[in-house]
Structures are given as C-alpha cells and as structure tokens.
Amino acid sequence: MLRLLIDENIPLAKEAFSDFGDAQLARGRAITHSMLRNIDALIVRSVTPVNAALLDNTPVRFVGTATIGTDHIDVEYLRDKNIGFADAAGCNANSVAEYVIAAIVHYACEKTRRLSDLSLGVVGVGHAGSLVVKFAQALGLRVSQNDPPRQRAEKTDDFVSLDEIMQADIISLHTPLTMSGSDSTFHLFDATHLAQINPGALLVNTARGGVIDPAALKDCLSRQRLTAYLDVWENEPEIDEDLLNQVGLGTPHIAGYSYDGKVNGTRLIYQALCKFLECKPRWQPAGLPQPAQPLIQVQPQITLEQSLDLIIRAAYDVIADSDRLKLAATYLRQERGKHFDVLRANYPFRREFSSYKVVAKKLNEELTQKMQALGFQIHLD
C-alpha cells in the first residue's frame, strides 16, 4: 500500500489518491522534510518548493505537481535520483485564457475602445497562450505571437520578434519562468523592454511574477505610461504593496483557479501516478457541480463590448477578485502574505464559460458568434 502526502487544496485529492493507499493531506507551504520520512509519493501545487532539501534521505519515489508551471520543482534533482515526476501541463489553460479575455474586455470598456480596433501581442504560445490567441481572434482583435522556441522548432512565419510585440495595444504574458539560457524569461520585461511598450497600452501577466522586473514596472506605472493587470507576483505570498496599489487589476495567482481546471489537474496527476505504478486507472471525477446561477440574461441596447463585459462578469468577475486582494493594502505588513494565501485557499467556486447559458429573446448575430467562440451556451426564448 502506497503512502501519499498531498496538498490539501488539491480538489478531490482524498477521493482520487486513496485509490493507491494512505492519502494524507497537508497545507502546501507547511510541507517539510520531516513529514516525508514515511512517504512514497508527494503531490503538490506551486507553493511547495521540491528539491534536495525537501527530499534527501526520504523514501519518496514519485512527485506530481497539479500545476502547469514547474519552476518550483528541481526536475534535474528528481531525474538524478530516479524519482518519477509528472506535471499537469495544460490542465487550467482554458481557465487562464478566460481570465485574460475577461481582463481584455474590461479594459476595452474602460477605455471605450472597440475590440476590433485593438491589437494583442501574446508572449509564450503554449497551452494557455494558444487559447488566448484563439479567443482574441474570435473577438476581432488583431493578434501577433512571440515564442522563440516554437519559432525555431516550427520554422513558420506565425511568430514575430519581441520588438514587434511591443507595438501592440495589449500584451499578455504566458511564458514559463526560466533563469538562464538563450530563452531566459527572468525579468524579460525589464526597464528597456517596458520603455518600448506603446504609451497607454495594457500589460497582462498570468505567467510568473519574475517575468517582469517589478521596480521597472513601478516606475512606468508611476509615470502613467501604461496600465498593468497582474495575477502573479515576485516573492509570493509576500507581494509588493506599492505595486499592488499601482496596478489596474491585481489578483492572487488565481487565473487558473476554475474548478474545471483544478479537477483536471487532479485527474492528470492521478493518471500519471497510475502510469508510474503500471496500474489501470479506476477513478474518474464525477459530474462537476453547476454554478449557482447558470443562466445569464442579455441586456438590450448596449454596445457589443458592454454586452460581452456584462455576460463574462456574470460568469467570472475578475474585478471582484482584484478588490479582494487590494484589501491587503489595508492590513498590517505581517498579515498581507497570510491574506494572499487565504484568498487562494478559500477561492470562490468558479466554473468555466461552458457551464453558462446566455438567454435572450433575440441576439445580435455577431454577439452570438463571439459568445459561442468563448464557450458559452446560447438559448433564444
């Protein structure tokens, strides 16, 4: 019988991993070396650094992270120690893409801009970035893509340089955090690159906080050169209070926190552990709970952008997420990191757009097409 230690914030963890044996739950940031003395498999999220200090002289022989990022995992150490490893790449890509689209539509409404008049530059075109490209094109934005590794591998004309991306009205970041090498992304958006962004543009970061130099960004924001919407931060959970106060929207690393994406992450790691153990998968998540209010009524006589904003916010309100985090600025300094973690641990139940039905007597054909492209169901009375 396997002994497992699992981050308590991974949904359905007990239900899924008890299939293998004794599944114990713990708070992700509290997992220590001493807790692993009798553990065979460790399942974490991004808040638990997994390295030699955590694993040396423990019986752990499999590590899974129910996240798309792996910068918290010393993958080379695991390989050297012959410890099995799996991530959940792509599990919450749709959730991240929906967050970005909600942010873009909100921005368009705030600036009273038509989506068809805006350009978007996507930096990092993997699982989430590809969906952002797809959704944004469906909404009528002009989209350019930057991904040097893909460009080298695919040798197509689908990608542009970072300099060209800087000319877009909106820039959305979806790169992994890499600290070295020709494709290093650590502080990729430094003072030099931030100065290249068009004045008045929007910068959205749902990748990793370290992709942007916070000091350089604060300087740009203080001079009102651009607007920034940040979901990720350097030194989480001890985030920069001054930067939080300067951004247009600031959320606690929850872009990928739809219930759909979380359960998908659990499923992928469960299947990976089955493969590692060479056993047949027996667990599948049952039907997911529905939203409290799955029907969305369309209001007549408003612009396309306003309609989209109201419909999207009825399904997912990114402004409410930002308001909750910005309360942190009113707390004592020693309480702010705790507030960040509490918001993540107690994140409200959120389903993806496909769980919602837009109801109306009559719908503009253009709005109908855009809603369906984003995954919404449509019902005409």
Active site residues: 208, 236, 253
Strand partners, 142: 119
Q: How far is CA 303 from CA 182, 300, 308, in A?
A: 45, 9, 9
Q: Which residues contact 42 (CB under 8 A, 6 or more apart)?
A: 4, 5, 6, 31, 36, 50, 55, 60, 62, 63, 64
Classify residue 231 by its DSSP letter: S
d(CA 245, CA 226): 14
Pair 152, 181: CB distance under 8 Å? no
d(CA 57, CA 52): 9
Q: What amino acid is encoded at 223 in this protein?
A: R
d(CA 34, CA 219): 43
Query: For residues 279, 275, 127 and 256, what is the CA-based torsion angle, rounded to 10 degrees?
Result: 60
